[in-house]
Amino acid sequence: MAQISSDIDGAAKFLTQGELVGIPTETVYGLAANALNGAAVAQIFEVKNRPSFDPLIVHISGIEEVEKYASHFPEKLKNLARAFWPGPLTLLLPKKEIVPDLVTSGLARVALRVPSHPLTRSLLDVLDFPLAAPSANPFGYISPTQAGHVDAQLGDQIPFILDGGPCEVGLESTIVGMEEDEVIVYRMGGLAVDAIETVVGQVQVRDQSSSKPDAPGLLTSHYAPRVPFLVGDLDELISQAKRAQKDFAVLSLSRRIDELDSSRSLVLSREGSLSEAAQNLFAGMRQLDASGAEVILAEYMPETGLGRAMNDRLRRAAAKG
Ligand code: TXA
Ligand code: MG
């Protein structure tokens, strides 16, 4: 079983030895390894049961580290980094030789991010290498937003989880890169597209539902609970579930379903705050997945701000076939 603690030196010791450590970030928990150690990185793929064509994000301690790993830093992306790092923004930049091909799955770009969680920032400060870290969940399942989520699924395979409490943002980082002169959002996430547009003007959001996505982790079925998950109009979904005599649970933004026991009606934010809802989304999906219900019914969020990224995750959770 993994040791769960907020001791940075303990985490650093295992990482320096080439072992894997669960780390808190403001978005979701990561499964971290020394990004420059190919053998350590290989273990990430094994433990997560992740296909090797799905590349990893490299976490660095500050913007000044970019030049070590990227051969070019376009002005527009630099402006985004200045505005939003540390924070839930990942930039795709042309990689330097020093980054192992396993990290980028052989792609020409490396994904770089400066996370803002204070424990992980301190950890990166004491280490003399960057951390490759995907979300710390088995491939295809919901991302973890608490140390206990990591422990429940990967705890018997890793020695240490750095406990930084529940994640503040709750959605994975927004992934951004450039093609020619255009800024492209490859994955919507914890940094809203509108916020990005205030810095670089209009951006293109890639349709991520293709079967051959630019970021391979964007396979349509992803972030999925085990129990069937349906998204749409709640009243309709509830009547259908009743007609089919299904034992159902409901995930909603602010509406409480009175006929259900409180463990079966999960409200993401009583006030309807999208940032609070994002914080609670993955933990809520996990809770309902474990509730014993036969089906989870969810509603779409308003399509603004973080609501867009949340809707993307809800669609993916529902896409499991
Ligand atoms: O918030 C986050 O981004 C979290 C925390 C731990 O930092 N990490 C995370 O990692 O969500 P992961 O591996 O679950 O998702 C990373 C996504 C994948 O979809 C992957 O395909 C994409 O980033 N990605 C990574 N490197 C890439 C590259 N070189 N080119 C294109 N896509 C890349
Ligand atoms: Mg992931």
> Per residue in 284-311, pLDDT tens?
999 999 999 999 999 999 999 999 999 9
CA–centroid distance, 57 to ligand 2, in Å, is 10
Q: Of the residues 44, 47, 57, 154, which should be mutated to test ligand 1's pocket, given the most ligand atoms within 8 Å of the CB?
A: 57
Provide the pLDDT confidence category of residue 211 given band limits of 50, 70 and 90: very low
What percent of the chain is modeled with pLDDT above 90? Answer: 91
The Cβ of residue 221 has, within 10 Å, a number of other Cβ atoms equal to 13
Contact call for residues 155 and 136 (beta carbons, < 8 A): no
Interstrand relation of 229-231 and 295-298 (parallel, antiparallel or unpaired): parallel
Whole-number Å distance between alpha carbons of 219 and 90:
18
Superfamily in which the 229-318 domain is placed by CATH: Threonylcarbamoyl-AMP synthase, C-terminal domain (3.40.50.11030)
Q: What is the pTM of this model?
A: 0.94
Give yes or no for residue 321 having a pLDDT over 90.
no
pLDDT mean across residues, the chain: 94
The finding on whether 116 has its CB within 6 A of some atom of ligand 1 is no
**Which pLDDT does position 212 carry in this prediction?**
47
> Hey, which of 175, 185, 209, 212 would you mutate to test ligand 1's pocket, going by the most ligand atoms within 8 Å of its Cβ?
175
Within 13 Å of residue 33, how many CA atoms lie on the same side as its CB? 24
Nearest CA to ligand 1 atom 15: 134
Inform me whether the pLDDT recorded for 272 exceeds 60.
yes
For the CA of 30, the nearest atom of ligand 1 = 6
State the pairing for strand pair 21-23/160-162.
parallel
The runs of H, that is alpha helices, within the chain are 8-16, 38-48, 66-69, 75-84, 101-104, 118-126, 147-154, 193-200, 234-243, 274-289, 306-318
Ligand 2 centroid – CA 137 distance (Å): 7
Residue-level pLDDT at 210? 46
Report pLDDT digits (tens) over 140-173: 899 999 999 999 999 999 999 999 999 999 999 9
The yes-or-no verdict on residue 319 having pLDDT over 90 is: no
CB of 135 closer than 6 angstroms to any ligand 1 atom? yes
**CA distances, 137 to each of 74, 145, 254 (Å):** 32, 10, 27
Q: Is 60 in the pocket of ligand 1 (CB under 6 A)?
A: no
Please write the tens of the pLDDT for every residue from 41-78.
Answer: 999 999 999 988 999 999 999 999 999 999 999 999 99
With a cut of 90, say whether residue 214 has pLDDT above it: no
pLDDT (tens digit per residue) in 171-200: 999 999 999 999 999 999 999 999 999 999
pLDDT at 218: 52
Ligand 1 atom closest to residue 115's alpha carbon, by position in its atom list: 7
Asked whether residue 317 carries a pLDDT value surpassing 80, the answer given is: yes
**Taking the domain 3-205, which CATH number applies?**
3.90.870.10
Q: Is the dihedral of CA 96, 102, 103, 106 positive or negative?
A: positive
- For ligand 1, say whether the CB of 81 is within 6 Å of any of its atoms: no
Tell me the domain boundaries of the chain. Answer: 3-205, 229-318
Q: How many CB atoms lie within 10 A of CB 199?
A: 15
Q: Is 92 in the pocket of ligand 1 (CB under 6 A)?
A: yes
Q: Are 233 and 216 in contact (CB under 8 A)?
A: no
Mean pLDDT of the region 10-21: 98
Share of the chain above pLDDT 70, in %: 94
Asked if residue 215 has its Cβ within 6 Å of ligand 1, the reply is yes
Q: Which residues surround ligand 2, an ion (CB under 5 A)?
A: 135
